[in-house]
């Protein structure tokens, strides 16, 4: 076929019609139901109020109905009366009456319509036919592109999956929003926060962090960066526990560095307060075995999904995230860590390292926006931090690309002075000297929608566990993490339930890949 169409063209356009005519098939449609719905809108305001937000002009198959509905929508959004005469008058003013079939056709639409009793059913039938036409159009474009030698197969897969995702989520050909609708939406959101104590996003589980951020916001890209041994992975796992176990919010964790079994072992160590070294060797006393089996039961049903695919490409990451959102309702995505991702398909890099990191950063932000979920990514910092007297990180320390700072909505750093043998905090108020022992600081250095801040947290280094300062030594506070972890490559097995009696049949530690960001030589604080 000579006509070139993009995969995002999801309406029942010329391409789908030409394909249907060539095959001798009529595209799926429900013109009779369209006549009923348009007629109902013209005589019954109740039906109009009830269903107009479910439809767009493109949903209608008959071009005349598209023109008429566009006029109905314009008058309705302008708070003008919608009836037979106002629609005809508006179409005359816009010189579109003939395109709508003329005034006689519009009058005929109202004949035989008595009420809006079954309007929802009629609208659903129209939408179903529209979805079928959209599927035909997308599939036809995929077939057409598949025959071309110049087609990049991974790009085609990505675009096809995105198109099907848009169909599934009803966001086909999303257009602009009016200020009127956006203001109403914003007011409704503000009202809904009245009883949530200012928490509008996904809670991190750390009281002071949530106070500064209002929770992790949908469509935001959050970067958490630090030098090795600061506890980036530990912070991520602490949040994962708070979100998936504490708040029962479905979330996904992509671990590009550590094996999922290693992550689970660290989670169990934090949950049970048993040394990870003891768990790895199995040298537990009777009381610890009892504690192990009683505490791990909380992890079994946590809605946490872990994928440990190494050198994950942005294409594969985007595809897996879409499936997680669609199939499991995932509301937050974590990546450990950004610099281990690849920009090209099949794990191949694209351009030089700075260009590759820039593309990955932009893609993570685009995925957060497309799926409307927060994406949290860990990142490395350059060695320039080590040469600074106070060792406090800053935005210029982000490694390999300034695009990370530019694309992120929030950039924060983890800072543990105790690691550098700094015994008191350097940013206390005058006259105060607070010990840095078992404490860390989350430095919010960039906050696109709020203020920057320094938030202190407790850090129990022997269990790699972060928490609120007040709950640092509360035996029941902030225990453990979710228990579901993924198989190395299969997405279908990304969620695995831990059986308490068999959860610790761990591989030989010599076969596990240690964290390159937290090597033993670099990190004396961690006993694993």
Residues serving a catalytic function are 257
Cα separation, 430 vs 451, whole angstroms: 23
Identify each DSSP E strand in 34-76 by its residue range: none
Q: Which two tokens stand for residue 352?
A: 């030089």
The dihedrals phi and psi of 58, each to the nearest 5 degrees, come to -65, -20
3-state secondary structure of 364: helix
Rg (CA), the chain: 28
Cα separation, 249 vs 517, whole angstroms: 28
Task: Give Cβ neighbours of residue 510 (< 8 Å, ≥ 6 apart).
Answer: none
Residues facing residue 381 across a β-bridge: 398
CA dihedral 433, 436, 438, 444 (to 10 degrees): 110
3-state secondary structure of 306: strand
Task: Give Cβ neighbours of residue 418 (< 8 Å, ≥ 6 apart).
Answer: 436, 437, 438, 439, 525
How many of the other CB atoms lie within 10 Å of CB of 486?
Answer: 25
Q: How many CA atoms lie within 13 A of 434 on its CB side?
A: 16
């Amino acid at each position: 076929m000579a006509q070139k169409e993009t995969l995002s063209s999801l309406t029942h356009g010329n391409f789908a019609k030409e394909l249907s005519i060539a095959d001798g098939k009529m595209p799926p449609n429900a013109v009779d139901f369209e006549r009923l719905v348009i007629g109902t809108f013209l005589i019954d305001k109740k039906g109009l109020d009830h269903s107009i937000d479910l439809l767009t002009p493109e949903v209608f198959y008959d071009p005349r109905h598209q023109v008429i509905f566009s006029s109905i929508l314009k008058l309705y959004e302008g708070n003008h009366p919608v009836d037979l005469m106002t629609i005809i008058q508006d179409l005359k003013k816009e010189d579109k009456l003939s395109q709508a079939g003329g005034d006689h056709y519009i009058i005929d639409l109202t004949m035989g319509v008595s009420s809006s009793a079954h309007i929802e059913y009629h609208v659903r039938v129209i939408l179903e036919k529209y979805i079928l036409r959209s599927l035909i159009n997308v599939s036809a474009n995929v077939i057409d592109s598949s025959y071309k030698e110049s087609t990049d197969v991974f790009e085609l897969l990505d675009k096809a999956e995105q198109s099907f995702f848009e169909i599934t989520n009803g966001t086909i050909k999303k257009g602009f929003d009016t200020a009127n609708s956006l203001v109403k939406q914003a007011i409704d959101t503000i009202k809904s926060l009245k009883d949530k104590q200012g928490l509008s996003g996904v809670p991190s589980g750390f009281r002071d962090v949530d106070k500064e951020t209002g929770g992790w916001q949908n469509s935001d890209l959050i970067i958490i960066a630090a030098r090795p041994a600061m506890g980036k992975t530990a912070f991520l796992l602490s949040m994962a526990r708070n979100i998936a176990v504490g708040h029962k919010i479905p979330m996904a964790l992509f671990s590009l560095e550590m094996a999922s079994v290693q992550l689970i072992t660290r989670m169990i160590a934090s949950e049970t307060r048993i040394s990870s070294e003891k768990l790895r060797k199995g040298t537990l006393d009777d009381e610890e075995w009892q504690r192990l089996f009683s505490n791990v039961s909380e992890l079994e049903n946590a809605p946490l999904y872990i994928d440990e695919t190494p050198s994950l490409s942005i294409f594969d990451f985007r595809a897996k995230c879409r499936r997680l959102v669609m199939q499991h309702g995932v509301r937050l995505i974590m990546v450990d860590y950004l610099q281990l991702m690849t920009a090209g398909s099949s794990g191949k890099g694209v351009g030089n390292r700075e260009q590759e990191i820039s593309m990955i950063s932009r893609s993570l932000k685009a995925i957060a926006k497309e799926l409307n979920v927060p994406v949290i990514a860990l990142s490395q910092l350059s060695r320039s931090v080590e040469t600074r007297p106070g060792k406090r990180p800053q935005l210029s320390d982000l490694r390999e690309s300034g695009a990370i700072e530019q694309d992120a909505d929030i950039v924060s750093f983890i800072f543990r002075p105790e690691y550098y043998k700094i015994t008191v905090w350097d940013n206390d108020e005058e006259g105060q000297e607070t010990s840095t022992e078992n404490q860390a600081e989350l430095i919010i250095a960039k906050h696109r929608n709020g203020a920057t801040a320094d938030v202190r947290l407790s850090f129990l280094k022997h269990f790699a566990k972060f928490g609120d300062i007040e709950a640092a030594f509360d035996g029941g506070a902030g225990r453990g993490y979710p228990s579901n972890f993924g198989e190395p490559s299969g997405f279908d097995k990304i969620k695995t339930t831990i059986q308490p009696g068999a959860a610790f049949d761990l591989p030989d530690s010599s076969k596990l890949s240690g964290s390159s960001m937290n090597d033993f030589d670099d990190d004396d604080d961690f006993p694993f």
